[in-house]
A and B are shown apart, each in its own frame.
Chain A
Amino acid sequence: MKKMKKLLSLLVVTTMVASMLTGCGNSKEATTWKIGGIGPATGDYAQYGLGVKNAIQIAVDEINEDGGINGVQIEYRFEDDETNNEKSVNAYNTLKDWGMNILIGSVTSGCSIAVSGKTSQDHMFQLTPSASSVDAIKNDNVFQVCFTDPNQGTGAAAYIGDNNMATKVAVIYDSSDVYSSGIYEKFALEAANQPYEIVATEAFTKDSKTDFTVQLKKAQEAGADLVFLPIYYTEAALILSQAKTMGYAPTFFGCDGMDGILTGVEGFDTSLAEGVILLTPFAADATDERTQAFVKKYEERYGETPNQFAADAYDAVYIVKAAIEESGATPADGVSGICDKLVKKMPELKYDGITGEGMTWSATGEVNKNAKAMVIKNGAYSLIQN
């Protein structure tokens, strides 16, 4: 009897463990588009991940209301990766079990690179809304919506030179961030060919991003009349207010991460941002109809102004839609079949979105669109006319 009991309990435990590990089945015949999203919904970069999560939801709802893609509805699921490579791969595998056939993600560069290793093994189409590192698109199946870092860095360096904006330039960047240091490196390379010189290069890391007086002091002492800030807006806001306190007023020049400085930081005096120039593909107060409709919807549903990450993600869904429609892919093609068709179609695709008009892609996955140089005037972005 005792033995029986022991045997029985062993059996129960085994089945329990087995059922725990099993999850749902792997090979189901797909009948809908299952779009998965991955990004940080918790942790330091949650605001970017949540922006992407919400924006994809808006786009998916819009498309479903209009009858889906080629009459097929979209299902959407978003998984948190805490900006951690390991968790990002876990999130990817979760979505794979769920039956995902197209991935929009991951939001950050590091995680995107990690996930792209897995998507290329599985041959799944991956479109990252905001990973800007070149390594993120080194696999054939990965495409991106935002600029690559080198493009931004080189573009910014050339823009400053072409418009004779400065003779002495200082750079403050985040050396622990792929995005920021990626831009900086290319900026430094291109700046060598330009008529100005870099007089100060100051780095900070994510552990020391609250006090920038040292970096600003060095820039000021070196006599820089332009400070290049290839960083995100939260830190940029701090830099602007600390520069003001020091009485240092050079031209500040940012990239697309700077977008959001007017609305994203609580308690930030936006008059400090007056005169800041940034290269960005998206401005929340642009006057075209689609941007306004998107911004309005986003504000209604989530109570905040969408940033550039959200806009990229919104475009990403529509890019996927356009690519599917033109290639005639169906969910029945299977993950690999869909990927083949979309990868073949992407270089021929031309798409007008809220983050750029006439976007095209090279076969390597890099996007080709124009950055707009914006200057902040009277608390709003306004396009600089060249």
Chain B
Amino acid sequence: MKKLTLNKQTKSNLITYGIIVIAYFVIQIMIATHTMSYHMQGMLVTVCSYIILAVSLNLTVGILGELSLGHAGFMCVGAFVGASFSICMKGIITFTPLRFFLALLIGALAAGIVGILIGTPVLRLKGDYLAIVTLAFGEIIKNVINVIYMGIDKNGLHFSTKDTVSLGMEEDGIAVIKGAQGVTGMPQDSNFTIGIILILLTLYIVLHLIQSRDGRAIMSIRDNQIAAESVGIHVSKYKLLAFSISAALAGMAGVFYIHSFDNMSSSVFDYNLSISILVFVVLGGIGSIRGSIIAATVLTILPELLREILYSISKDSNVSQVITNSRMLIYSIILIVMMIFNWSPEVKEWTGKFFGKFKKNKSGKKEVA
């Protein structure tokens, strides 16, 4: 019996990896045969980073069971550290894959460390209180980066919190982080293949953690903290473990994300982004890794698809000028409908029946075989 459940888990994992790998090959073929629009090609990297973010947040929200609203903050830390590293090392490490790998590593480490620093005091709180405090921390991170000015010249790094003038750099110096204007001049190292590799890495880490002894300890805290403590589980340690891994993965996603743009300011990583990532997790199903992947993909592509759809509608008639201008409104309505539809008891019952039948068929077939 035990062996069977183990197999089931491995099989489920393999399906998750399989979806990603198959999607990768399908998309590669579509690109090679020119059947994919530039618009969709341009979004591949962002979709990859949102998938990583959603999966990593699911670790905190779904597995640890704590509501975190500061995920964009960790992404921001990773992004800025990674981008600064890449810009500073542009002339020194010319082998791009190595430089990008180091940038990803350093970004993830930085975000992980910030995760531990924030997690240590904050994880003592629970539920709504934790949500509010993480929200605040996310904003603090954003605002701190908003006032940092950093430059590099032959004498080394210069820091300031006032403006680029007060960095006092030599002639050859370049301003790397320019306060609220963010970073400019990252090498555009991100591509779809690296994104898929990072997704697989993230899935490996998260799934491996969930299905390990540590993961079971983390889930027991989620289910009943008092009971978990009573059997000798070190609650703070495991909470911090899940939280910091989640933060580090978000940092890695941030590095990956920022390296597909020429410039980026920290204002992008605001609480709206944190909420969007949370929406991916909630819509995909809290605790469901595969659901997060699908929800992140669909919800990122949807508003962009609406551009095309609304444009083709408005081309044929004159009245719909209003419709084209309310793209984001329509997106929000679709989101509400999807949330209700996905979680209404009737629909759940229906899908339960549907998949139940599906499963029965499968097991039936096995017996025959």
Instruction: List the interface of chain A (C-beta within 8 A of B).
Output: 2, 14, 18, 20-24, 26-27, 41-42, 77, 79-80, 82, 84-86, 89-94, 96-98, 110, 113-114, 116-118, 135, 175-178, 181-182, 184-185, 188-189, 205-207
Contacts and interface: CB of A to CB of B under 8 A. Distances in A.
Contacts of B178: 181
Interface string B301-314: 00011011001000
Interface string B167-191: 0000000000011111010001000
B39 A175 contact: no
B263 A113 contact: yes
A180 to B, nearest CB: 9
A84 B143 CA distance: 18
B236 interface: no
A339 B102 CA distance: 37
A177 B261 CA distance: 18
B267 A22 contact: no
Interface of B: 26-27, 30, 34-43, 46, 143, 146-147, 163-165, 178-182, 184, 188, 261-265, 267-268, 304-305, 307-308, 311, 325, 327-328, 361
A334 to B, nearest CB: 15
A23 B304 CA distance: 11
Given A22-B30, A94-B304, 15 more contacts: A18-B35, A23-B37, A26-B34, A26-B37, A80-B328, A85-B264, A90-B39, A93-B37, A93-B39, A116-B262, A176-B146, A181-B178, A185-B164, A188-B165, A206-B267
Contacts of B261: 85-86, 89, 114, 117
Contacts of A22: 30, 35-37, 40
Contact of B180 (A20, A86, A181, A185): A181
A79 B306 CA distance: 12
Contacts of B262: 113-114, 116-117
Contacts of B43: 90, 93
22 contacts: A20-B305, A21-B30, A21-B37, A22-B35, A22-B36, A84-B268, A86-B268, A89-B42, A91-B307, A93-B38, A93-B40, A94-B39, A94-B308, A97-B38, A97-B308, A110-B182, A113-B263, A117-B261, A177-B180, A178-B265, A205-B180, A207-B143
Contact of B165 (A80, A89, A189): A189
Nearest to A78: B324
A22 B308 CA distance: 11
B304 A90 contact: yes
Among B27, B42, B147, B308, residue most surrounded by chain A Cβ atoms (within 10 Å): B42
A184 B37 contact: no
A298 to B, nearest CB: 17
B330 to A, nearest CB: 12
Contacts of A94: 39, 304, 307-308
B83 to A, nearest CB: 13
Given A18-B35, A23-B37, A93-B42, A113 B307 contact: no
Contacts of A116: 262
